[in-house]
Amino acid sequence: MSDFKLVAVNCKNCDSGLVIEVNDNITYCTSCGSGFEIIESELKPIEINFAAAAIRSEGELIYKPFWLVKSHVEILERKASGAFIRNLFGGTDESSGDIVFYIPAFYCHLDSMKNLATQFTAKHPVASPQKYNAKLVGFAYGKEDAKKLSEFIFISLEAEKSDTMKTFKYNMQFNSLEILGIPFYKLSDGRLKDGILGIVI
């Protein structure tokens, strides 16, 4: 029986100690602002930024990780479409466009995840993310999860907005995935309220 060892993990760029929780597959260095994805025990660089709180609220301010899934979507065939895709594409051409999906990377109830992803994706409220000296942990979903959740949000929203969904075929190309820390306030009743749109989960 081999001995179990605990190994300290240091930032590859500044050698500071990294905070990693159980099951985290992403870590962030609060000293230099470097982000890393943990792949087969190796640290691979990944872009991590933070959004500034736009509203004030009572409670401790913490940051929760979101995947920014930058994609290009092409509609191949669709009947009885709704307004959601037209709004996301930002024009009259409803056949293709670029969409940035905001997908919670932390564990929350499916309804809360869908609500956050829907509202943030539709409103795209974060203009200029920045580097912060902030703790960012609790990564429950990886890149492949984020891609699948993006498709789930895309399909479910279009289906809800349509009068009758008869045919819907599309092609989604994932261009890049980044991490964005969204500010949340810890409320006295244990719930969380985001500091951008004010959604309570």
Asked whether residue 57 is assigned to any structural domain, the reply reads: yes
pLDDT given at position 6: 45
List alpha helices for the chain, DSSP H.
83-89, 110-123, 143-161
List the structure tokens of 112: 């809360």
Q: Is the dihedral of CA 17, 21, 23, 29 positive or negative?
A: negative
Q: Is residue 150 part of a domain?
A: yes
Does residue 1 lie within any of the structural domains?
no
Count of alpha carbons within 13 angstroms of residue 112, beta-carbon side: 14
Give the Å distances, CA to CA, from 119 to 18, 27, 134, 167.
32, 26, 24, 25
Q: In total, how many domains does the chain have? A: 1
**What is the pLDDT, as a whole number, of residue 8?**
66
- Residue 180 lies in domain: 26-194
Give pLDDT, residue 85: 59
Q: Provide the residue-wise pLDDT of the chain in tens; the chain has 201 residues.
A: 445 444 568 898 999 888 777 777 888 888 888 889 888 878 899 999 999 999 988 899 999 999 999 998 887 776 655 555 556 665 555 677 888 999 999 999 989 999 999 999 988 888 788 888 888 888 888 899 999 999 988 887 776 665 555 567 888 999 999 999 999 999 999 999 999 999 999
The answer to whether 52 and 183 are in contact (CB under 8 A) is yes
Q: Is the pTM of this model over 0.85?
A: no
The alpha-carbon radius of gyration of the chain (Å, integer) is 19
- Is 80 within 8 Å of 166 (Cβ atoms)? yes
Determine the residue type at 69. Answer: V
pLDDT at 79: 60
> Tokens 């179990």, residue?
4
pLDDT at 126: 87
Q: Is residue 169, in this structure, part of any structural domain at all?
A: yes
Report the C-alpha gap between 113 and 58 in whole angstroms.
Answer: 22
Identify whether 54 is part of a domain.
yes
Does residue 154 fall inside a structural domain? Answer: yes
Q: What is the dihedral of CA 86, 88, 90, 96, to 10 degrees?
A: -70
Q: What is the pLDDT of residue 162?
A: 52
The answer to the question of residue 17 being in a domain is no
Q: Does the residue 31 lie in any domain?
A: yes
